[in-house]
Structure 1
Amino acid sequence: MRPFGNRDRVGYMFGDLANDLFFVYMATYLMLFYTDIMGISGHAVGVMFLVVRLWDALCDVAIGSFIDSRKPSPEGKFRPYLIRFSVPISVLGVLCFTYFPSMSEQMALVYAYLTYMVYGTLYSCVNIPYGSLASAITSNPLERTSLSTYRTLGAAIANIVIAFTVPKLIFDVNNVPQAGGFLTAAVLFAVLSVIFYYGSYKLTTERITAGYDEVPRVDWGETVRGMLRNRSLIAFIIASIIMLTVNFLMASLNPYLFKDYFKNGELLSWMTLIVLPVSFILLPTVKPLVARFGKKEVAAGALILTFVSNLLLFSLPHVNPWVYLAFQFLSLIGLGYITMLTWALVADIIDYHEYITGKRQEGTVYSVYSFARKLGQALSGGLAGFALGAIGYVQGLAEQPPEVAHRIKQVITIVPATGSLAIIVLLALVYNLSKERVEKLLVELEAQRGH
């Protein structure tokens, strides 16, 4: 069998690039398409997003258990799904951004529900096997770290492509969104996604095949009991929900911060400019740091930078926008490490689950983790709105009172500070897969598998 190398890294990066071309496009622009092109009310769109994300979360668990209940094909347990669903998911992505002028608002809402829910189901059919694939490509901790960093790099590339192409396609000279532009972008991303899914399938190799000789049966009672004993899984699910909540709140409140506190909404574009380079700056440092200290140790240590940066911003009575951006750059470096290491940590958690239960259930474990993330996304959807209401924000005012603007600054800094501290505590005291434990775990698994 071909040894692990750059071919696997690039192939795994292609998988997330294919996923995120549409995922990020939808996360950023689908609501605008629904409201400004299809004429659906913002309230109806918000309810739809909540319903569809809950549906997606359930689909993740169903798909994960389905994969684990099937005997792998000669091409592998996970890779074939990238090919089987690459065209259907790309077609549904295009249909999500297809506008029919003759539709009433009610029919448009039904069409939006139908296409978005089917797309979400198909996304589970490729994302769950893709996410599980990392644990089957290699068992080496450093090699898994490189897969995780390349996956993050693929997401960064997708974000850059979308940031530089979509606004030029969808807005006319008067800054008005055009239906044809949305469709053109969707077709472009559909073609690219199919190409990158194929590249991911061709370039990666599944090497960890223990327990695949017979068709397994998923016993959910036994699986759940194993997961409840897997303290690393529980700790990381809670940590991921906290991290998603922090990221969502910051993304939602930053426009209000720059508009009402800094009195300069145009400076918000600088937030994007400091976010994009972080992945490229961190990429060469992740592997040597993990080799020296370990994955959970690097993630927890880097988050200290996020905690200190935001605590200092919270403590300062008045903050200059450039000072805020400088501290946020440091904060994002801290968050960047755990983001890059997330999928390597999940692969270790899958190994630990096999050690506890004696069964290799990559799809099921990954899908439960994904379910928790999506549930967190759905439940945190209204958090920013509740926060604005709690601090006294008055919609429609040309200028908010100074005390309200100050509270926005306090919320947007104290939440990341407390959130990062909570994740540090979870990683240090509950997540039990340290560098030494992971190394020992791999030896124990080899013996357990009879190798």
Structure 2
Amino acid sequence: MDAKKFDLGINNAGGENVKPFGNSDRYGYMLGDLGNSLLFNLIGSYLLVFYTDVLGIGAAAVGTLMVVARIWDAINDPMMGVLVDKSKPNKNGKFRPYLLCAGIPVGLMAILCFTAIPGMSESFKLPYAYITYIGFGMAYTAINIPYGSLASVMTSDPVERTSLSTFRSVGAILANLILMTVAPMLVFAADGSASAQGFLKAAVIFAVISNICYFFAFKMTTERIQHNVNDESKEKISLGKSVSMLFKNRALIGIMVASFGLLIAMFLPQSLNPYLYKDYFGNANLVGTASLITMIPSFLVIPFGGKLVAKYGKKEVTAAGFVIATIGYGLLFFLPITNPYIFIAINCLAGIGTGLINLLVWALVGDAIDYQEYITGKREEGIVYAAYSLVRKLSQAVVGGISGFALGIIGYQSGVTQQTAEVANGVKNVITAVPFFGVIIGLLAMIFIYNLTKSRLEEVNDELNSRRSN
């Protein structure tokens, strides 16, 4: 097999000893997702407001733009995955160089997305939005797919991969905290109106911070497993064949379905929480407080992720997380809760489950990459990660559609100070039912589709290590 693992004391292709896996890798990988999430979440949380309130683009036109962008993602992401797989490693590795060469373009495109060019004609605003938003998506894909694939070559140890997944989740949590606390102060004027200068300032600041994170992620991480997939004597990788082979990877299909259910369960409340607290609980001021409190479980489970995986296995702990989340969301759905603080408390219970899952999801993706090599004999980190990344983007698009259609179906009236009791109850039902059924889908996928139990994963890793030593 044309692969070789480099452990402590074994020389790499350049004749240099490879340092052992350690905290430098963990913190470096965390910084990578901190950089990614700052820009991605800024775009996801505030670009719609910028388009409608600053550029003056209609909401329907923006919705069409989002759909077109997701269609292009379905084409662009697999293409980028194959391009990454075909790239040849240099002295810095195969994936780490993308952290430097793609970091500046993704930052620049984010800035352009939030730039209101003085004197821009009305007829050019929508085309400008298409160019910059799709351009940002392509630049983000160019850094996110290599970054996500990087973990699979930093280590093959299950516990070490779990720690990478944990630290990546911490990076995302830190990005969300920064976004929730800093962004509103920048993008809104004193009177609460959207500020064009504020949006631009936020984009510039976040782009600079992100590139600093990318630089240190590059410097602090190490690729320890090299795969010579570009040997000219080997069979060429084609996009069509690579995509078709993904359907044989039960581990990948399982984590894709499970993540789809999980992300719907997590993103839909974020989208509808303002309506829930404003119209159902009658206290719009609780939205920010509820968001911060429900993040606490994500921090509380961090010390336990690695220990639980070492004892029980990643699939087993992830399935347990789905069980906890199902109980929490089930209570929210079935109980006639009218007290917002009880609602928040039960949400925290569900958050323990989703927090466990989020700690492990990236390690599961790394195992799916290994399993792809196990069943096909080819190392294709990029195309596997691209497939998983596409599902995450599609889940966000689905949430946007569900949120809009649901509000219309239950009779929500824009601009009305007080909604009817039927509408308020409808919001509560939607915001609890969708997450409940979403985590059920995730639980079923982990039990019946995802096939890498602790013992099975050990067999796969032993076989891969045997191939790589020959």
Matched to 2:163, the amino acid is S
Give the match for residue 190 of structure 2: 173
Q: Hey, what does 1:197 align to over in structure 2?
A: 214
Shift of residue 317 of structure 1? 2.6
Match of 2:351 in 1: 332
- Residue 187 (structure 1) aligned to one of 204, 215, 219: 204
Aligned to 1:295: 314
* Residue in 1 that maps onto 2:267: 248
Equivalent residue for 1:345, pick from 364, 367, 370: 364
Question: Partner residue of 1:102?
Answer: 119
Which residue number corresponds to residue 444 of structure 1?
463
Shift of residue 56 of structure 1? 2.8
Output the CA distance in 1 between the equivalents of 2:53 and 2:96: 38
2:108 corresponds, among 68, 83, 91, to 91
Higher helix share: 1
Residue correspondence of structure 1 range 37-116 to structure 2 within 5 A: 37-116=54-133
1:271-310 matches, cutoff 5 A: 271-310=290-329
Q: Do the aligned partners of 1:169 and 1:184 also contact (CA within 8 Å) in 2?
A: yes
The worse-fitting range, judged by mean Cα deviation, of 413-422 and 140-149 is: 413-422
In 2, Cα distance between equivalents of 1:380 and 1:261? 20
What 5-or-longer segments of structure 2 have no aligned partner? 1-17
Matched residue type, 1:141: P
Conservation of the 8 A alpha-carbon contact between 2:277 and 2:286? yes
C-alpha separation in 2, matches of 1:394 and 1:97? 29
Q: Are the equivalent residues in 1 in contact too, given 2:70–2:397 (CA < 8 A)?
A: yes
Distance 2:406 2:45 in 1: 21
Are the equivalent residues in 1 in contact too, given 2:328–2:346 (CA < 8 A)?
Answer: yes
Which region of structure 1 is more displaced relative to structure 2, 396-405 or 333-342? 396-405
How far apart are 1:212 and its partner, in Å?
4.0
> Partners in 2 of 1:40 and 1:417 — Cα distance?
35
Contact 2:79/2:239 (CA < 8 Å) preserved in 1?
A: no
Structure 1 SS opposite 2:301: helix
Query: Aligned residue for 2:43?
Result: 26
Does residue 156 (structure 1) correspond to residue 173 (structure 2)? The answer is yes
Q: How does 1:249-264 map to 2 (within 5 A)?
A: 249-264=268-283
Residue matched to 1:369: 388
Question: Alignment RMSD, CA only?
Answer: 1.7
Q: 1:320 aligns with which of 339, 342, 346?
A: 339
Q: Please identify, of 121-130 and 385-394, the stretch whose mean Cα deviation from structure 2 is larger.
A: 385-394
Query: Is the alpha carbon distance of 1:87 and 1:225 closer, same or farther for their aligned partners in structure 2, counting shifts above 3 Å?
Result: closer
Q: What TM-score do the two structures reach when normalised by structure 2? A: 0.92
Quick one: structure 1 residues 169 and 305, their matched pair in 2 at CA, closer, same or farther if it must change by over 3 Å? same
Distance in 2, matches of 1:227 and 1:7, equals 32
Note the residue ranges of structure 1 that are not aligned, 5 or more in a row.
none
Give the match for residue 428 of structure 1.
447
Cα contact 2:31–2:214 (8 A) shared by 1 = yes
Supply the distance in 2 between the matched residues of 1:396 and 1:159 (Cα, whole angstroms): 29
Residue equivalent to 2:422: 403
CA 1:96/1:225 → structure 2, altered by over 3 Å: closer, same or farther? Answer: closer
Q: Secondary structure at the match of 1:209?
A: strand
Q: Does the 8 Å contact 2:297/2:355 carry over to 1? A: yes
Question: Does 2:30 align with 1:13?
Answer: yes
2:436 partner SS: helix
Quick check: 2:86–2:229 contact (8 Å CA) kept in 1?
Answer: no
CA distance 1:330–1:442, shift in 2 (3 Å): same
